[in-house]
Amino acid sequence: MSSHQVLAGFHAVVARLRHAPSSVKEVYVDASRRDKRMHALVQQAGQAGVKVLQVPAQRLDGIAKGLKHQGVLAMADKQVLAQDIDEVLDLLEDRGETPLLLLLDGVTDPHNLGACLRTADAAGVHAVIAPKDRAVGLNATVQRVACGAAETVPYLMVTNLARTMRRLKERNVWLVGTDDQSSGSLHTVQATRPMAWVMGAEGEGMRRLTRETCDELVHIPMLGSVESLNVSVAGAVCLYETVRQRTAQKA
């Protein structure tokens, strides 16, 4: 298996140059583009000491092999983030940080996963966890929609989600699931403790065992006519309730 990967598009390349410039080997740009956005990227790569090659658009198409590249590609080392949940929790314990995790049960749409990762990064989530058998992997679409978050937030795909949830409980992480039928509101959650939000895909929601393994179930108040939110939007609402509470605690 190759130790290198192709990063396609401005978001993916800029994010890697910002977070791990030493992992970027070469940047390829469309020789015909002279706009400000391209100029800024070339300048950023130069400041990081990364070689920039100006090539015809046809060559970019050949390297991209179907990926949407926007005139920008990079060859880079594959990033190695945390590989399992214990590694994540041990690192947080060493740092004295309170864990915040996001568990996704049944999210198979790459656009939804990409949006969830982007929100997770913004909200300071330490890892996103999903089952291997009912989830999309980190494909090119996910990386593009995530706008660089796939480079910064560990995405852990586990064999048995319920078993992983029980492991989190053993590590004193409180599991809060979202359920439209629950009487509790997300605003009643004590989100300053070590916790994980558990989200199901729209439509089917969480599987029975996933729901039963949660410590607490809450609903998102819905004041309009629609019955539910897209999983990435619902995740953002819940995660930022945690951000609100934790920010207030520090004030």
**Complete DSSP assignment for 94-153:** HHTPPPEEEEEES---HHHHHHHHHHHHHHT-SEEEEESTTS--S-HHHHHHHTTGGGTS
Q: At residue 1, does pLDDT exceed 70?
A: no
Tell me the sheet residues that pair with 165: none
For the chain, give the percent of residues with pLDDT over 90.
Answer: 63
129 is in an annotated binding site: no
Residue 160's domain spans which residues?
85-250
Q: Are residues 143 and 219 in the same domain?
A: yes
Listed in sequence order, the residues at least 6 apart from 191 whose beta carbon sits closer than 8 Å to its beta carbon are: 176, 241, 242, 245, 246
Window from 59-73, 79-93, 110-124, 178-192 with minimum mean pLDDT: 79-93
User: How far apart (Å, rounded) are the C-alpha atoms in residues 184 and 169?
Assistant: 20
Indicate the number of domains in the chain. Answer: 2
User: What are the E-state strand segments in 154-227?
Assistant: 155-158, 174-178, 195-200, 216-218
Last residue of a domain, one of 77, 94, 128: 77
**Dihedral in degrees, nearest 10, Cα atoms 158, 159, 161, 167:** -80
Which of residues 77, 110, 132 is at a domain's end? 77
Q: What is the phi/psi pair of residue 98, to 5°? A: -85, 120
CATH assignment at residue 147: 3.40.1280.10
Cα 72 to the chain's mean position, in Å? 22
Chosen domain end from 51, 77, 103: 77
Do 112 and 56 belong together in one domain?
no
Would you state the torsion angle of the CA atoms of residues 82, 244, 209, 228, taken in this order, to the nearest 10 degrees?
-120
Greatest mean pLDDT range, 9-13, 82-86, 114-118: 114-118
Give mean pLDDT, residues 63-69: 85
Rounded to whole angstroms, the Cα distance separating 100 from 193 reads 9
Within this chain, do residues 68 and 137 fall inside the same structural domain, yes or no? no
Contact 195, 173 (CB under 8 A): yes
What's 47's domain CATH number? 3.30.1330.30
Residue 80: its pLDDT value, please?
A: 67
Interval 154-198: pLDDT, tens? 999 999 999 999 999 999 999 999 988 888 999 999 999 999 999
Binning pLDDT at 50, 70 and 90, where does residue 3 land?
Answer: low
pLDDT one-digit tens code per residue, 96-154: 999 999 999 989 899 999 999 999 999 999 999 999 987 888 887 888 888 878 888 99
Please work out, in degrees rounded to the nearest 5, the angle formed at the alpha carbon of residue 141 by the alpha carbons of 159 and 34. 150
> Higher model confidence: residue 9 or residue 56?
56
d(CA 88, CA 158): 14
pTM above 0.85, yes or no: no
Q: Which two tokens stand for residue 131?
A: 């089952």
200 is in an annotated binding site: yes
Of 13, 64, 56, nearest to 32 (Cα)? Answer: 56
- Same domain, yes or no: 122 and 178: yes
User: Within 10 A of 251 (CB to CB), how many other CB atoms are there?
Assistant: 5
* 220 annotated among ligand-binding-site residues: yes
**Strand ranges, E, within the chain:** 4-8, 24-30, 51-55, 72-77, 100-105, 127-131, 155-158, 174-178, 195-200, 216-218
Q: pLDDT tens, 219-234?
A: 999 888 777 788 999 9
